[in-house]
Structure 1
């Protein structure tokens, strides 16, 4: 194998001090390398596995290649860091800062970059929610970058560590094909984007040269955009099937998702405290999880009626707190307790969820997949997230402006972001204009499909909500 395909060099800073002969805690020879391996409790505090050198040329008392003085000193310093944390003498502002990487290494640069990103937000007065932190691409990409490069000198990393040709099999190897094989092209694209941004910051820290980024040796081609879309009558069918199979929370969520054009994560996070009423009807006032932009999630009479019917059926007379998520999985009836939610019992509906809970990402995906299969068969692969795009297609077909679309979707789909935010802020009137354009566009799209248009009105709501328990009053 080419030397360029070998692992880049570890970055070990020069330090003085003698290492004693006592056994060093958590310092083990595993799979051909000396490693500092924290316990489960230590990992919960943010410490991670640190891979060190191979040791040698001599052997220690156990027959392993003798660890270098630098590696032993590194392990001792890691133990000291842990001792400071467990004794309460070290603050822990973020999990990543609890891990100790060699000075000047990629891991060290990542920690400094994360601190700089947070400082930039603090300076601007921006406070991320837990959901926004969870959706941050940097920690997600770091899960791929860390095992390969965290303790390495960035100047020793080559393009072949990302992408190379196996001389024996002729197959592509490296981090890029590994990510695509294990997850997706989208995951690879995101990871390399983060790496390139990290490299620029490390160059500013003088860890490497700006033009020495090894990932620039290949193109980071983005995945083909999704083009799938739903028609209104198909969404109505999904809601019907969900309601009649007693997925009441899912039925309401789908209806709200269709009208609001919010992403699935923003929809399942809606609360009663975000609801607003104006002359045009009801909407939810929120900041989008991904972008943090203000959004006005408007509802039609159709989605509002389904939402109200669901809330009455799911919660009855129990008063919801303003911060309680609206959409819950299937389950029993609520226990009547003043001011409390989430006290449930029984197996109403006999579904997979005996105890109802606010929809999580996995539960929503699983339930939607089940209802989609019941409605359209196993071959159907469209997703809930495709409804967001479908609404944009409708509005465009109905002549909606790009500014109104940007307001509706709470993104920067229009080109001039700075002027857009300055002179045309988000407003509900603009959003409702786009809703009207969607209604026009829906009819045009249905006609283009040469199928009868199905009007979604309160009249059809009575038929929609008919079930074994009777109709909605």
Structure 2
């Protein structure tokens, strides 16, 4: 089942002999020669043609495509003869037909960027990389980019295959090839794109084909670490030479920053108030200001690591804090940037700032050393664990929002107006975490977790006659 291209909606007619107008790879194109491309002309993809066929058996090109090809030829004739461009010249065509889904996507991306710049917001490279729109577009583009959005139906997303009786469509394809999480993200972006195309008058705002089925979110992760377990992880990491990872985990645990935000910390972001040290930064995901507070424990580990890693080196304010195992980072002029030294029996191993990949790999090694190969909890679960501690300890949702720099309190605009970064509130949440950690550790695990339902309800000392 194919959605119709924009050009397919015009009436078909017989094929005229038009220069450089060819049918190739399932569609009509205006295809310039090499000398023409040297003058700035390039291949212009047009419609699929049809429903009739021409004398050569090709789907009949639409009137609109033929007119476009004639105008392109006129533009080329003017260029090669050195004449003024025709008044109704068709410039090199955009990548997607006007009014198509691809055209709407490009306009939407430009409008999104303009809206950010109008507010004085310039995204960092990390924020650009985390933008879900380009990621979702990799799935949407091959299916719908050159289509008139009004010809796209719900069955393109989800339908029953008549041959097999099994579900098919883009939704099934994404879940099969990647995950439910990926599907949720793609459909979420599509729905947002449809609203923007509706505002552009490309489609009926209320007729989104992806609204005919639920976009059920993936089951959220619920794994948590307990404080004693994190202490063990940090200890095992330090004893095995993963000093940078040990400090990273300690800071991530106390600050409740995500792994990506923790890896972004540098000397420039360090601050000091009347209680102690914290980091001031904008979160990579939301851009919201965060106050990443530390405890005496995490600060002591961080300082011990920095003294070991950077002793004697001249550091820059933007020097990343957390580095992999290996030689101490030192450059020729004494500033951080190059790497030297060795690790492990004289073997030269360069130390580099932690990336997502290297942090996850080293964490997996330390986790295995600490808890065995069956343990699968992740570094990112520490952020959730801190939230659980604070909640058990009686912290308010506003304190949690300040600590985690998210919108958990559902009043982001109001709080940004009156209390953009409340370090006192973040530290109050730290105190609640300490109380919550104590309560969680005091919970006793049952002696047996393999008891039968009867044993769970009645206890293990059940008279034999009741079990007959």
TM-score, normalisation: structure 1: 0.78
1:332–1:381: structure 2 CA closer, same or farther, 3 Å change rule? same
Q: Is the 8 A contact 1:329 1:357 kept in 2?
A: yes
Equivalent position of 1:422 in the other structure:
417
Which of 133, 136, 143 lines up with 1:138 in the alignment?
A: 133
Equivalent position of 1:261 in the other structure:
256
Q: Secondary structure at the match of 2:202?
A: coil
Bigger relative contact order, structure 1 or 2, given CA contacts below 8 A and separation 6+? 1
Equivalent position of 1:125 in the other structure:
120
Q: Secondary structure at the match of 1:284?
A: strand
Tell me by how many angstroms 1:392 deviates.
0.6
1:74–1:8: structure 2 CA closer, same or farther, 3 Å change rule? farther
Equivalent position of 2:164 in the other structure:
169
Which of 306, 310, 316 lines up with 1:315 in the alignment?
A: 310
CA distance in 2, matches of 1:57, 1:20: 16
1:212–1:353: structure 2 CA closer, same or farther, 3 Å change rule? farther
Equivalence map 1:57-206=2 (5 Å) = 57=53, 68=61, 70=65, 100-206=95-201
Q: Give the number of equivalent residue pairs.
A: 410
CA distance in 2, matches of 1:182, 1:35: 32
**Unpaired stretches in structure 1, ≥5 consecutive residues:** 1-5, 38-46, 81-97, 452-473
Q: Secondary structure at the match of 1:12?
A: helix
1:243–1:49: structure 2 CA closer, same or farther, 3 Å change rule? farther
1:430–1:356: structure 2 CA closer, same or farther, 3 Å change rule? same
Moved more, 391-400 or 242-251: 242-251
1:36–1:309: structure 2 CA closer, same or farther, 3 Å change rule? farther
Equivalent position of 1:455 in the other structure:
none
Tell me by how many angstroms 1:48 deviates.
12
**Unpaired stretches in structure 2, ≥5 consecutive residues:** 11-15, 32-41, 76-92, 447-468
Equivalent position of 1:390 in the other structure:
385
Q: Is the 8 A contact 1:113 1:198 kept in 2?
A: yes
Larger Rg: 2
Q: Is the 8 A contact 1:263 1:385 kept in 2?
A: yes
1:248–1:163: structure 2 CA closer, same or farther, 3 Å change rule? same
CA distance in 2, matches of 1:330, 1:375: 18
Tell me by how many angstroms 1:33 deviates.
5.5
CA distance in 2, matches of 1:49, 1:305: 63
State the Cα deviation string for residues 251-283 of structure 1 (Å, max 9, x = none): 111111000000111011111100011211110
Equivalent position of 1:302 in the other structure:
297
CA distance in 2, matches of 1:402, 1:242: 33
Calculate the aligned-residue CA RMSD, in Å: 3.4
CA distance in 2, matches of 1:308, 1:349: 23
TM-score, normalisation: structure 2: 0.79
CA distance in 1, matches of 2:172, 2:428: 45
State the Cα deviation string for residues 55-78 of structure 1 (Å, max 9, x = none): 894698xxx95895839968997x
Q: Secondary structure at the match of 1:342?
A: coil
